[in-house]
Structure formats: structure tokens, C-alpha cells
Structure 1
């Protein structure tokens, strides 16, 4: 056996992701920095952009419990290695490929971040830069990018090891299986996505590959045109000979180039027939670099650049510190990342991606775009052919082999959803090659509900202990946050059949709230509070009242409920922050300022609370206080991508003074109107 698979640890300066925010994500969906207009786009692309929008990340919890204080900590990685290449996958961080080392040259083929520093770029907030990330389900950095995945070792028919990663994605209801193996200097990754139910769901996939950026970095893809956006919502088709994107370091601002692949440039002879093999490549000044080649279903290719602006440089520093700048080459199922595809019930989609080192015979490539692409493309596909197909065949043959011993355990949701489907008589066809485990605190309450329902069914409507199905279900104290949440009609029916308690009504309220059914949510929140008083139901009721069409009276009542929730859980920072922001939103800046004075010093020192303090001061006309706080040069660890709040506050406090670099996250071109 020429390759090995081991599990080890890599120690990095780390700011831990931390525990999830216990408040369910019903307030607002984290938004991308901009949305795409569909005017003038091809009909299919425009239809895909309009389809499948997600308004909430529920039932996931937000991951915003990190800061910017780093200390050495281990990262658990699965390592595939042979004498030519070493591939490291972070088992507890979405299975990300965090390192791909070309051992023959000592070069890292993907951007290897020297720190682990979460920042607010993912759908659940916490995200980190570097490596190759797998994004499934909906537009954005996927919900499991900072969560453990299941992992196991599979042995191919030829004795070579395969690393299998898998999980269940809860918003779209999809099962993801990723199989990886080595062949010579190449890493092959076979992706299988199953829609286990018999109903259509939205589908999205992009592999995001970070590459270290130098002044000589160049990117090529088999296209003569691209759909380009510059973080302003426009999506225009550009001629790449006129708008040559090959040098990421010289990009004037952050931009996306979605390459419109030309079939002739991405076609090569395979056997006796032509086959479409989309590719993208990133090379440095000496012609060395990384090529990514895939099978045809993965037809999208993209270049992302941060841009040569203070904000773009600030983002690279914010995410990687001294690791340096990077750009991303990406591959997806659609032409752009604004699109979601319709995935039929029961469908399985799969493709293969190959990562391989590239060394161009002539690194100059100073011709026009079309000429250079043709030259690079020929060398990329010849390099891929030289690798051979034994590794791809190995992955195909092993796709349905069931995992035995697990290297890592993920969430219980695949197992619980399977049981729920069986209980309700609906389809849930998981691939043969994955195995889910229902154990763990995260799903314990829901597993008990399912067990109680089964016991009730066996007893003809009453559980053997006479409890009506409640049985051994242990509800937390109302002051203890529920560990998890669910979504979907089947779960709601299960809760409706269970005994009426504060927790069953609360969970039904949250599910309705996430569907924007504010009246139903309010009724269940109030029913929950009649059983037991909890900060969770009070918070939900406050939010639902404020989001309803009840007018100013409902807005005021909502703030009162938020204040009561905060009184029950005064140490929970997110509750206090929501109350303070609600007060500011209603023009009650003086009350928000007074609230801040009651906080412990360590809470008031947090970045988001400093922002509230500045906003309150500015609303009250106290620019001196606002300016003093701003000049303290503080961080807001979970500053959202595209969020320009710090620049806006600075301009308001100091009209005419340029924004200092530590607050400048603007990614638009310098001089552009904000």
C-alpha cells in the first residue's frame, strides 16, 4: 500500500469557535454582502437565481461565541499521505482540506492558514479562511463549516485507503458523502449528494479553494467571457480579453469572476470520445501552482479576489494575520453562486474533483487571454491524464461500502430524521455508504420524543407507564437553554401529539416563528409561559411581537418581553444585546445607554456593546463620548462580511476625517459611493 491514512493533531494559534448562541436563529437570516440583479441574464440563469431562496438558517444555532484572543490549541486532522503529497482534513471543522503539500517541492498547493481565527462570513457566523471548503445547500459558506463531520476509513479493492466524510444538512434535507484518495501527486475527491426524501429541494454546491497570493499569481479558466460582480449587485458579462482577470494582486477591488466556460476549451479526448472536463488553475511567477479538474456536472468556475484596497487588505489580515494575502479559485454546479438548482426527490448527484500540482513549461504566459488559456488548458489536461484513472475507479467502486469503525462522529440528525420518516411513513433513502449515530446531548430530547411516540403506538395510544407517551422524556429547567431545535411538519406533528408542556409549546412556537407565522408563534409562546416562565419563550414572544403587524403597541410590548427575558438570564450577553438594539431601533437611546451602565465591565467591554454605546451617544448628540470610544481602537470580532458599521460610525463621529485602517473593511473601489 503506497498511501496511508492517519488521524493526528496540528497545533495552531487558535481563537476557539466556542459554544453556539443558545437563542434560536429566528431574528434574521445572515445576509450576503449583496444580491444579484437578473436583468439581461440568460433565462435559465435568471430562473435559478430566483429559485430556492432561504430566509432563515433555523434550525441551526448561530456560532458567535469566539473572540480574537488566540493561544496554541490542537486541530484534529485526518491525513492522507504518500511519497508525493500530504492532504490534511480538519475533522471538527467541516472536513475542510486545510493543507495540500507537494512533498516533492515542499510547496503548499492551497493556502495554509497559520492561525485559526473565526470571523463572521458563514451562514451561522463563524468561518475561517484557508484550504478547500465544501459548500452545500444554499448560497454562502455552509452551516457545517465549523462543525464535526462523520469520518471513516474505507479500503479500496486495491488495498489503498479512502477517507470518507459525511453528514446530513438540515435546511435542505440533503446527505453529503465525500470520498478522498491519493493517486501519485494528485488528490481525488468524489462527492455524492442524496436527496433522501421524495420531494424536491434546492441544491447548491461550490468547492472554494484558497490559494496564497503573490504579486506574480495568475489564474486561468477555459472561458472567453465571465459574469462579473463587484460587490454592488450587478452581474454583467465581460470579455476576458478586455477585462483580463489573470492577476489577482492587481485587482482594483473585491470582485467575483464567474467564468462562462467555453466547451471547446474544457474538452479533451478520453478514450475514443471527447469529454467535458472543466478546470481552473492558479500559478505563480515560476509557473508552479495548482490545477483543479472535475467531471462535467461541476460546470461552474469562479475567481474571487479581495482587491488592492485598504478594506481588502484589512480582511486578509483580519482572517489570517501574518499568513498573508490569498484569493480563491472555485468550482460549482451552476454558472454562478447566486443560483440554486432543483433537485428532485430521491435524486443522487455525484462528480469527481482532482487537485494536482502544475508546472508550466513556459511560465511567461504574456500573450492575450485566449492564447494563454489555450496553452494552460492543454498542460492542465495533459497533467491530469498523466495521473491516470486508478484512483477515480477506486472511489467509484467503493462508493457503497458501508463504514465500519468511525474516525469521527458528527451530528445525530441523519439518524433522527430517518427514524422520524419511518414513524410518519415517508421516504428517507440514505446512501449505503453512510451511517448515522443518534447518541449525544444535542438530539437527546428529540430521541426521547421519538421513543415515547413508538411506545405509545405499541400500547395503542398510551405509553406502558400510563404517561400518555411522555415516558422518560426529561425536560430541562426553564432557565436552562434547550440544546437544539427542529424544523418540518413531521416534527411539529410529533410535538402536537406529546403532552402539553412549556417545552413542547415553546418548540412549536419557534418552528412557527421561523416560518414567519407570527400569530401562531405568539399563541404558543404565551401557552409555554402559562406552563412555566422561561427567558426563551419571553425572548421569542418579544421578537414575534416586534416582527408582527401589531403597530407601535406591539413594538413596545415586545421590548417589555425582551426586558423580562433579560431579567431571567442577566448573564446571557446575546439577550442583553438584543434588548439594547431594540431600544435603539425604537429611538430610546437614553434607555439603551442606561442599560449599558448596569452591565459588568467585562460585558460592556465586548465589541458589539461598545458599538451600541457609540450609537446611543451619537443618537443623544454626544459626539465627544462616541469619538473617545472609537479612538480606543477596539475590535468587533464578529463583524459581518460587507458590514460597514465601523466606517459609518467613524464618519458620523469625525466628519471629514479618513477612516483608520483598523476600521476600514470597505471592499468597493476607492472613490466609489457608499
Structure 2
């Protein structure tokens, strides 16, 4: 049977991601709750860890406006299907492979989440668990994990369909193209990833394919390695034997941990997850994708709580460009990197033996399954232009190309992708500056819907007619890059031309960061007066009051807010912290005993358990507040 490629919808209980936070992300990018030490590591691994660190998620806006109330909502999926497999890709959610059904067994090979619930594990905050996620650019869950990708249907020379997805990643400045097709003769999903640095300058490169697998008591993971670099949530990174003790059973892990397998240059990198009956999934790739990893949540209250918080029990097997996820590689200007990944259902007899014997048996079966599969179709279509469009992404790839052309700078795109400069309405201002559309009016009472970064954009703004908005955008870009002096000058210039909440907010954050807390509070209060009811701004003002030692004012401030804001988890936390700081312990204890949720509590954040212990030193932390991963 020839495969089909169709668009479909899957209805799930869903908490919408919501509109982006309109305030630009000028603060340092949230980091994972642990950092790797390079002590004792091989020189190349240590150098990769030190290279290419990213300090800001700007110019992306944060996605932190979701809640935990769910209603049935459709999820759009592109479906590749034949007699053997059904693969569903969520084109509006980073192209996530949300389902891979093995028709021979009726089993889902990857963890299929039965809800869509964003949580604060992504670089832009919102992230959801399940399926196979493509992570590019920098450590963490990539900026487009909850954003649409371009998608198109192609027809290969043999008549079989290929799904193409692509986008421009704005922090690293690279193009990613993902082609997917089903094998015609065996059960296999082939994926070809192509990454292009279209600019002249070197950039840091990072890629990890994160594969969620439903966890049972007897799930087991195999990779062709005897040792791994193990990290937990205390920053340690030790070279450990994976067989003594045997770490292959995720459900038996005492706490959350990562094992980055030391594959030793294996000719065919692979990892597999199997159940006791020998059935499961193998992930195989070409050598460029040389890293493999196992992540487990661990058997702790916090680990179990996180899985429930996200929707269900799972672990992850992963493949990456480097040995560990702490590393970045140097990608030269104009370079194109590509590799093939294959997802294979397995059935292995003998996978329940001790580690070495079982791993050898599994590896042999992975080799046979890989030899029987044929991914060559992806070679034939790699450069073909998109045929039938299935989805439209963002305009930034086209706008970056137009900007480069304006200043005679290189922007060498891939032949198989097409960006739409007119996509979406959040880039109207930038289209106007580039002469691609009418500039339109700038409403100072409305937050700018998008931002830019980089010297060419700053040059374009500098050459444009000076307005409050040109100065404001230059201020934000400087602020996000850490140039506080330049940021302050442009915020002041913007405010001289027109007082806006947005420039006042920026100036307030600069004052707060410079330990001028009272001045920071004053500017943020003025900003909120111009944008009353804007939740992220109100929260920043409350945080600034606390940081300035003005806890007594916070309670009154929170009480003055609309009821809808006061009921949100972050504002309730603010009220508890203020009560504790001002000596109102009984009030803090009363609020905590109500047991509320903070929908965007971050991975590794222990604010709720810490507050509980401060308020109730002699009482155990309720499970609802326990997110500890160690």
C-alpha cells in the first residue's frame, strides 16, 4: 500500500497556550536547575560545554499565559500512514511527532499524552510532554516547541509522500528542514534533518531529538555503551558504569537523572526502549547524530508529581549532536549539516537478560531491522521545492533575507524551503521598515507585538526616522544583550518623545538591576498606571516592591488588583511571600493551607516547598507543593 499524507485533527482536553506575554524577555534566559562542571572531563567535551552559551531568549516573547483548566480542543496533525505505521505530527506545535502507532501490535511506540497541558519547562516557558520533540539551537526545549512550523506535502520520484516541515530559528539564526516519510517495505519512519547557517558568521549549534516513551514497572533501555556521563540535579557529571549498578530500568531510578551514553564513536548510533515481552522502539541515526541519552523522573514525590502535572508517566530516550546536552558545536557560516533518523518497532527475544548479554541481543536486532529499512527516498527529495502547503509558519526567515539583501549581507537559504514575508500580523512594523508593506500607525497604548535582534536590525532602526518606537526597540535589543548603558539612553530618548508603559517598564527594570530599588518601583508603578490590569507588569511591580524591602506595601497592592489577577497562582505566591516577610505568619499559613496551584511553576523551582517549610517548619510539605527532583 502506498502511504498517504493528510491533514487531520485530534481532540484532547487542552489548556490553551494563550497569547504571548507582551513584555519583551530582557532578563537572562531561565537556566536548567543544574549546571555541568567540566572538572575531569575530556578536553573536547569541556571545550564544547564552555562554548556558545546563550544568555537571552530575546527576540522571542515568553509564552506564560496558560492555566490548568482544560476543555476539549482540536489539535491539527499531519498524518503519514500506511499498512504498518501511523505517524501524527502537530504542525502548530513545533512539528512534534505526537503519535507513532505500530499497526501490527496496536501499540503506540512513543508516549501519547492524552491531554495537552503546557508547563514551564521550555525556553519560552510553555512546553508539553509526549511524543518526539525536535530541539535546535540551545540547551533546553526549543523556542518553537509551542509554535507553528511551515509544512508541505511532497511526492518522491517513487510516488510516495514526504512531509516537509521547516522554520527559521531566530536566536542562533539558522534554518531547519525536517523531512519525514514511511518506509515502503518494513515498519519504519525515516526523518531527514537539515540545518543551514545562512549567514557568514559562525554560530553555536545544538540538536537533541527527545523521544518520550510510556513508562511501566519493567520498561528497559539499551544503548551500545558500557559507560555514561551521569548528571543529577546537583550539577555533578560523573563517568559511570551503566551495568554496575544496572541503570537500564527507568522505573527503578531513585531520583531524576540523565545518563549520556559514551558510545565511543560507534558506527551506528542507536538507543532502544523495550518492554518485558521484547516489544518496543529503536531510534537509529547516521553518525553525525552521535549522542544518546536516557532521562528519568525518579521515584520521588516530586518526580511523580511532575509526571502527573504534565499528564502521565514516561521517560525519555534521546539522540543529539554531542555527547551531553551541555555542549554546543561551532557551525561555520554558510555550513549545512544533515543526518537521518529512523524510528523502528522492535521485537527482541532475550532482552530480559543481564545488561551485557541483553544489550548485545538488542543491538543485533536493531542492526537487522536497520539493514532491512531504506531511507534513500529522502535523498531524492532533499532539494525539491514544496508542492502542496499544509501549514504556514512565521515571516522571520523572509524578513531576515530581505534585511540581508538591503545591506548586501549573505543569507544563503536552503533550496527546499520557502518563507512567507506576509505571514501573520505581528511583524507589520518590520515589513514597513523594510519597504515590503505600509508601515501603518504605532499605537503607544498597545504593546509592540514583536521584537528583533542583531546589528543589521539596529542599523535599520538607526537609519529610520527617530520615533519613540525606534528608540524603544533599540533599547530593548541593547537591554537583552546586556548593554545597560545603551539601553538606558534609548529608553530615555523614547520617553522624551512619548511616555509609554513599555519604555517606563524597561527603565524600571534597569534601575532595579542597578540596586536602585525605589526608583525601579516608581518607574514600574508609572508603567502600570499607563497599562492597568496587565498581569505580567503587575507581577513585576510586586516583585520589585519585595526586592526593595517594601513587603508591607505588597499586600495592599495585591488587594488592589482585579479579582481575576489576585486568584492567579503567581500573585498568591507574592501575597504569601509578602506576609512572611512582614511578620504576618498567620495570614501566610492560612493562604498556604488553601493549597493552590502555580500553573507556570518552573522545572527545578522549589518556591512552594520552600514557602511551606518557612511557614510550617515542623510539618511535611504537601504533595501538591512538592516539585523536588532530587
Query: 2:324 matched to which residue of 1?
Result: 336
Task: After TM superposition, list the pairs within 5 Å mapping 1:255-404 onto structure 2.
Answer: 255-263=257-265, 266=266, 276-320=267-311, 324-365=312-353, 367=354, 369-387=355-373, 389=374, 392-404=375-387
Q: Confirm or deny: 8 A CA contact 2:352 2:358 kept in the other structure.
A: no
Query: 2:407 matched to which residue of 1?
Result: 424
Q: 2-side partners of 1:190 and 1:5: how far apart?
A: 17
Q: What is the aligned counterpart of 2:394 among 382, 395, 411?
A: 411
How big is the shift at 1:361? Answer: 2.1
Q: Confirm or deny: 8 A CA contact 1:89 1:98 kept in the other structure.
A: yes
TM-score (norm 1): 0.92
Mind listing any 5+ residue stretches in structure 1 that lack a counterpart?
267-275, 453-470, 669-674
Please tell me the root mean square deviation across aligned C-alpha atoms, in Å: 1.0
Superimposed CA distance per residue, residues 426-457 of structure 1 (whole angstroms, 9 cap, x where no aligned partner): 110000000000112121110110008xxxxx
Q: Confirm or deny: 8 A CA contact 2:533 2:562 kept in the other structure.
A: no
Superimposed CA distance per residue, residues 615-640 of structure 1 (whole angstroms, 9 cap, x where no aligned partner): 00000111111111111111000000
Q: 1-side partners of 2:427 and 2:501: how far apart?
A: 21
Q: What is the aligned counterpart of 1:186 among 176, 185, 188?
A: 188
Task: After TM superposition, list the pairs within 5 Å mapping 1:232-247 onto structure 2.
Answer: 232-247=234-249
Task: After TM superposition, list the pairs within 5 Å mapping 1:63-142 onto structure 2.
Answer: 63-142=63-142
Higher mean alpha-carbon deviation, 162-171 vs 30-39, is at: 30-39
How big is the shift at 1:476? Answer: 2.4
Are 2:620 and 1:654 equivalent residues in the alignment? no
Q: 2-side partners of 1:472 and 1:345: how far apart?
A: 33
- SS of the equivalent of 1:577 reads helix
Query: 2:428 matched to which residue of 1?
Result: 444
- SS of the equivalent of 1:337 reads coil
Q: 2-side partners of 1:659 and 1:557: how far apart?
A: 37
Q: Confirm or deny: 8 A CA contact 1:224 1:262 kept in the other structure.
A: no
Query: 2:228 matched to which residue of 1?
Result: 226
Task: After TM superposition, list the pairs within 5 Å mapping 1:586-605 onto structure 2.
Answer: 586-605=548-567
How big is the shift at 1:362? Answer: 2.7
How big is the shift at 1:133? Answer: 0.1
Query: 2:448 matched to which residue of 1?
Result: 482
Higher mean alpha-carbon deviation, 35-44 vs 235-244, is at: 235-244
Query: What is the aligned residue count?
Result: 627
Q: 2-side partners of 1:373 and 1:262: how far apart?
A: 15
Q: 2-side partners of 1:509 and 1:477: how far apart?
A: 18
Q: 1-side partners of 2:110 and 2:553: how far apart?
A: 50
Are 2:597 and 1:635 equivalent residues in the alignment? yes
Q: 2-side partners of 1:621 and 1:38: how far apart?
A: 43
Q: 1-side partners of 2:564 and 2:72: how far apart?
A: 23
How big is the shift at 1:12? Answer: 0.2
How big is the shift at 1:2? Answer: 1.1
Q: Confirm or deny: 8 A CA contact 1:197 1:427 kept in the other structure.
A: yes
- SS of the equivalent of 2:262 reads strand
Higher mean alpha-carbon deviation, 22-31 vs 159-168, is at: 22-31
Q: 2-side partners of 1:375 and 1:597: how far apart?
A: 64
Q: Confirm or deny: 8 A CA contact 1:12 1:116 kept in the other structure.
A: yes
Q: Confirm or deny: 8 A CA contact 2:28 2:480 kept in the other structure.
A: no
Query: 2:520 matched to which residue of 1?
Result: 558
How big is the shift at 1:370? Answer: 2.2
Query: 1:466 matched to which residue of 2?
Result: none
Q: 1-side partners of 2:148 and 2:188: how far apart?
A: 25
Query: 2:255 matched to which residue of 1?
Result: 253
Are 2:489 and 1:503 equivalent residues in the alignment? no
Q: Find runs of 4+ consecutive structure 1 residues off by over 6 angstroms.
A: none
How big is the shift at 1:56? Answer: 0.5
How big is the shift at 1:521? Answer: 0.7
Superimposed CA distance per residue, residues 445-491 of structure 1 (whole angstroms, 9 cap, x where no aligned partner): 10110008xxxxxxxxxxxxxxxxxx942232111010100000000
Q: 2-side partners of 1:241 and 1:393: how far apart?
A: 36
Q: 2-side partners of 1:482 and 1:432: how far apart?
A: 33
Q: 1-side partners of 2:543 and 2:28: how far apart?
A: 14
Q: Confirm or deny: 8 A CA contact 2:351 2:361 kept in the other structure.
A: no
Q: Confirm or deny: 8 A CA contact 1:518 1:545 kept in the other structure.
A: no
